[in-house]
Structure 1
């Protein structure tokens, strides 16, 4: 108990000293401020000294901060610095060319699909119409479409229309054969029993389409005229009155 009382006495003495020191500091600060206020030049010089340093920003920054240029991809690090930009440019050119080729391919496919649908609808309408008169109308419509493409210089597409006309005639006249849509033209030719001249004409049209679409050999006007004659022969030999 005595020790605790002594400890409390020490704490009270320490607290008193700290309070006295604080009061003394406040008095000194107040006196310094009063002295500085009485001397305006001293205040101005003190302010100039503070503003002269670089710790206080005195102006608003102008513009946006410059960003460092983007670093090239890691797979371009092995290329010299001067060639990296050229390689990236060539890469973008290749991407653009591939995109253009893909768009052209899809456009041709869509046009071909629409054309096949028109041909199929025409063939079905002819078969459901007035017998031979309906068949003749379908053949004339098909030839008109093929001739229109040929006059526009699109001989490869015109040959394809002739082939579709042949397939339409086969399906219309050989319904018992149950031709599957997945069969190729050569498979259809092998499965059906056709007169010799009709089979030869059909084979010539199939070969011309294969060379034009898959063999990379563009068709011309002479080739189209020859295959058009083959189609007329095929339609006549297979039973059409065209």
Structure 2
């Protein structure tokens, strides 16, 4: 236990920036992943091994959405698996920073499994609705639209981050962020973007068994995420275009 406490203390000094992080990821998921990272460190696990365990939890939860009839116990199980998978997704990065063992290959693997879960979780909802829910066929468009929105959102984030990194390498004298972007570090922003947080979606699956409530919540999240994607796309474009101004 003393080793875990010591690792936890070191982890508190090895946290990445909270800029742009939604409230669940910022205040719940990262603290939840911290003891997991400490335990993995004591057990001698590598960040890649933690990533694989995270993927196993997440993909098991996704598979259960599509295969099990929604009941209270199965819905809670799905939510728990997804929450643990997401916490472990944070733990692998924390472990990498703690041990100084981060690598481009590890970052790629992390993003690879992120892409898999985003490409499958909404399709699993589609299968669930088709098999187990009594809904008109038109409702099946909701998880399809949500799947498209989630994947485009993920690409936009990754592409914008990649281009900013390239710009910083080409122009190391340029400021790290523009004043317009700096406000995203605040707590108000993290609360405003909760509906786009994958961790919040994980919690919503706890009511998968309650069809009318889940359909309303899931559809509302889908609509909000599409609107947020449109706003984010304009912001990403302006921020990338504005990089040349600050060279």
TM over 0.5: no
Higher helix proportion (structure 1 or 2) = 2
Q: Comparing both chains, which one has the higher relative contact order based on Cα–Cα distances under 8 Å and sequence gaps of 6 or more?
A: 2
Larger Rg, first or second structure (1 or 2): 1
TM-score, length of structure 1 as denominator length: 0.29
TM-score by length of 2: 0.28
